[in-house]
Structure 1
């Protein structure tokens, strides 16, 4: 069956987007940005793989007659994308960082530009046509080596929680300055390449400068007034959207007619739109999915069709490709790192900035396609530079982990609390909030565990934002991304902050983006020196259990005790049931009950379940219980029951005892075991009508109850019994 031109285009869309998203899942799992998957998808669909393995399929899917259509649609996608890049450039990034950012960014342009221009002397006879002026080739090689991928860098910083760190703030500022400078240089180079005479190039440059001045002085004030009227997404009606798109297209057309390419006009128009007033955010939200998900993958496919790995068919070509990668890394990484060290950063921070500035990604591909369209570079050099862009972008994440590990960032976020030499260490709680329903119950538990002023304590509420592919400034400008959520805003943190405010409990909110929630919870707990991590729980999807998934990973990695709060309307803690058979997790649960008794005066019932087949007698495992809770003190009860099923015994006691909370240790005897997948029944959680606190002590100690009351005990148990941690 022969497809029409429209049918073929739809098939191309389906194949390109489908393969990009499929590879994107793998890249996300590897911690890599989506742009690498999209570039690889384009290369795999081109002559480098599909055309090599199955040329008939490639000719059928991408016949030569469809190439112009792909190119035109991809150019429309690029115009929208460059507009979005301009929207992301926020002048507020430069505040307080002018000197260092200018020095680092300009050094990161000059150094690779010089190395690229120097390499052009050796590459010119081999990798360019004789008809190309040598000056144009040298200038283009220098600019191509100098590019930093601002959008990819912004996304990496956001996902790695570096955006508001010292390193991230400096790197994103340098990338913004770098982007503007490099694109101005590229516009100048394009004007020279397109000009037939030096006077024409000079005239093109003057007209371009005049156009930039007109946009800044004439169009920007109008956009500021327009943005003031758009306070939210609802304010961006179709009339305003149509006017904005018309101005965008007119700006792109103007720069194309001037002679410096339409992409510069779209980038400039996005850059001058004020970031206050809501217009920039609303435009990004409207356009990003169409540009990035639908149209931009066509550009990668078109670039892939032009990338021919088979052209690197000699050791000499591969050696030149390796040299390009080496020079690119030396120029960007070396220049940025040395400049950062010179301006006052530590060697670790300077190395991280160098790695981040070496990210090229999509922006490099845009520059390379311009060079190939203009005839400045050959297909062979185009392929080498594409490989360089992939390698430098791929190296960013793993090198960043080595040079600036997450543990270092967690310590940077930690704020030490000074204590007098004789002051007792406070009991530190870290509440992990995934949704708003767990907030009130956590506040109630926090009140009971901390007591009054006679029990020093610190409470932190942590909310992790899952990675998003939205424009980075949309995340930067939210209160959650700054770690400063407000109670008057909707969101998971609002209920716990509001409830704590009503009850007079001081809770310090923390929030940031995380691609590794379990590890980030453990790192934050370690940085804050938390004694107990409390995870919120809600009714999960089919097949998921309380102690599976992220909870299992936190329990496996955490150095502090971990508790999972199953909140079924916990509004007060007056009577607590503690099932106890002597395991270390039971001792951790007992330590929390001891603290609840000490801080809030709750009534505690300790339930010991024995087998009906065993002779009745005093259980030796209750020795520790009586040492912690002397029988002379009121409000503590001991129950020993014989039952074939410990789970049923706990459920029966919980149903008839009038308790508010069941504090139970993880253990097979209670039907509660940590596991990655939902393979266990967890009947106590499923069938209990009461709120539960499921506790696990992660230290690998033996389950034998020590003679000393605090030997082998959890931090909560040691603090409750007055033993130093």
Structure 2
């Protein structure tokens, strides 16, 4: 009780003595320097998650340091004794083992990273705020086992997915120790699937990885029209002549799209997929239903969510929820 009383009494005083505007100036300076680049915000909470998240950010942004910006963010939970600590230098204070691991990995691989660390009382809100202030194009987060329930896209992840005014990616690690050389992209045609295609194209181009676009069709009906439409979408994304590795378009008839993805994913180094009901992936604050693909996928997995009006679709199962290329034949 005394700890709660102390926090409530000291917080307004600290906010008055060290107002957020003192820290906001430094963040806005960083945002101004990064504007015009492909910016990725990488929140890291554990040292072991730093290397694979950095590899993904590097693959997405590409080798041109003048055209990219990677921000490594470590949010430290507030504890009682820190209520009395000065906050003026908190933007980069106490980098911690986690952020040091990210910075060390970045130096080893020659990837420029802007480290940022501060105490937080609301990690999701601070991730969303920093992403907005830094004008990043993507928030790339790792997944860790939830405290409540089994849902992967829940809790802090859910709040970032719902609140971020930019695209979001959730990485589910299965042991990605090196750059992937083969990428599987399940595709049904949602805006989130299209973002997954675009990000897979960037990663494949920069990592010289081969891509397979997997289009699952129902065996009960003629799927030629949807097959042609999905192929056209894939060709449009992978039309870049600088793509160094081949791109394969694979059609699999299957009554269960999720089972088809799990069967096809085994030989691939990385699976890149859009968040969608069709894949059994939805954002939930709390939940007891484990998302089947995220839980059972044998390969490392990145789940993408596109932000903005173009991401709004009709309910799952409605043919109009998919682009024209995926309407029933």
Q: For the superposition of Structure 1 and Structure 2, which TM-score range results when normalised by the shorter chain?
A: 0.7 to 0.9
The structure where strand makes up a greater share of residues is 2
CA shift digits 1:559-605 (9 cap, x unpaired): 10001111222121221111111111111111101211333322111
Deviation of the 1:630 alpha carbon: 3.9
Which position in structure 1 is the counterpart of 2:138?
A: 532
How far apart are the structure 2 equivalents of 1:34 and 1:697? 42
2: distance between equivalents of 1:499 and 1:478?
28
Provide the residue aligned with 1:678 in structure 2: 287
Instruction: Report the CA distance between 1:679 and its aligned residue.
Output: 3.2
The equivalent of 1:239 in structure 2 is none
The residue matched to 2:79 in structure 1 has which SS? coil
Number of the residue aligned with 1:693: 302
| Deviation string, structure 1 residues 37-57 (Cα, Å, up to 9, x no partner) | 8xxxxxxxxxxxxxxxxxxxx
1:643 alignment partner in structure 2: 254
Q: Does the 8 Å CA contact 2:175/2:300 hold for their aligned counterparts?
A: yes
C-alpha deviation, 1:612, in angstroms = 1.4
Maintained 8 Å contact 1:410/1:524: no
Conserved? CA contact 1:430–1:534, under 8 Å: yes
Instruction: Please give the per-residue CA displacement for 1:673-698, whole angstroms capped at 9, x wherever unaligned.
Output: 01111233211111122111111113
| Partner residue of 1:705 out of 312, 323, 328 | 323
Q: 1:617 aligns with which of 224, 247, 265?
A: 224
Aligned equivalents of 2:7, 2:249: Cα separation in 1:
62
Provide the rounded CA distance (Å) in 1 between the counterparts of 2:107 and 2:58: 12
Q: CA deviation at 1:409?
A: 5.8
3-state SS of paired residue (1:572): coil
Report the counterpart of residue 193 of structure 2 in structure 1: 586
CA–CA distance in 1 between the matches of 2:131 and 2:39? 9
Q: Equivalences for 1:547-586 in 2 at 5 Å? A: 547-570=153-176, 571-586=178-193
8 Å CA contact 1:410–1:523 kept in 2: the answer is no
2:47 is equivalent to residue 436 of structure 1: yes
Q: Using the TM superposition, give the Cα deviation of residue 627 of structure 1 relative to its aligned residue in structure 2, in angstroms.
A: 1.4
| 1:695–1:418 CA distance, 2 compared to 1 (3 A) | closer
Q: Are residues 1:605 and 2:223 paired? A: no
Q: What does residue 660 of structure 1 align with?
A: 269
The answer to whether the 8 A contact 1:440-1:496 is kept is yes
Match of 1:34 in 2: 5
Give the C-alpha shift of residue 671 in structure 1. Answer: 0.9
Quick check: 2:53–2:141 contact (8 Å CA) kept in 1? no
Taking a change above 3 Å as real, the CA distance of residues 614 and 541 of structure 1, as seen in their structure-2 partners, is same
Query: Displaced runs of 4+ in structure 1, greater than 3 A?
Result: 155-158, 408-412, 416-419, 475-479, 630-634, 702-707
Report 1:99-498 matches (<5 A). 152-153=9-10, 155-156=11-12, 171=17, 410=24, 413-415=27-29, 416-418=31-33, 425-453=36-64, 456-473=67-84, 475-476=85-86, 481-485=90-94, 491-498=97-104
Q: Is the 8 A contact 1:603 1:636 kept in 2?
A: yes
SS at match of 1:414: helix
Going from structure 1 to structure 2, the CA distance change for 1:551 and 1:631 (only over 3 Å counts) comes to closer
Structure 2 length normalisation: TM-score?
Answer: 0.84
Partner of 1:503: 109
Deviation at 1:672, TM superposition (A): 0.5
Give the secondary structure class of the aligned counterpart of 1:623. Answer: helix
Using a 3 Å threshold, how does the CA distance of structure 1 residues 456 and 541 change in structure 2: closer, same or farther?
Answer: same
CA contact (8 A) 1:582 1:622 kept: no
How many residue pairs get matched? 310
Distance 1:663 1:579, change over 3 A: same
RMSD: 3.0
Check whether the contact 2:168–2:306 (CA below 8 A) recurs between aligned residues. Answer: yes
User: Is the partner of 1:535 in helix, strand or coil?
Assistant: strand
How far off is 1:447 after superposition?
A: 2.1
Q: Does 1:628 align with 2:237?
A: yes
- What whole-Å deviation, never above 9, does each CA across 1:440-478 have from its counterpart, x for those lacking one? 1111112211222277100001111112111545x5499
Cα deviation code 1:224-266 (max 9, x no counterpart) = xxxxxxxxxxxxxxxxxxxxxxxxxxxxxxxxxxxxxxxxxxx
Residue 80 of structure 2 aligns to a residue whose secondary structure is coil
Q: Report if the CA contact (8 A) 1:556-1:698 is conserved.
A: no
Normalised by the size of structure 1, how large is the TM-score?
0.40
Shift of 1:516: 1.8
Alpha-carbon separation, structure 1, partners of 2:284 and 2:251? 29
Q: After TM superposition, give the deviation of residue 628 of structure 1 in Å.
A: 1.8
CA distance, structure 1, for counterparts of residue 76 and residue 306 of structure 2: 27
Q: CA deviation at 1:497?
A: 1.4
Residue in 2 aligned with 1:304?
Answer: none
Question: What residue number does 2:317 align with?
Answer: none
Question: 1:631 & 1:497 partners in 2: Cα distance?
Answer: 32
- Structure 1 runs not aligned, ≥5 long: 1-19, 25-32, 38-151, 163-167, 173-351, 353-403, 708-725
The higher radius of gyration belongs to 1
Q: Helix, strand or coil for the counterpart of 1:650?
A: helix
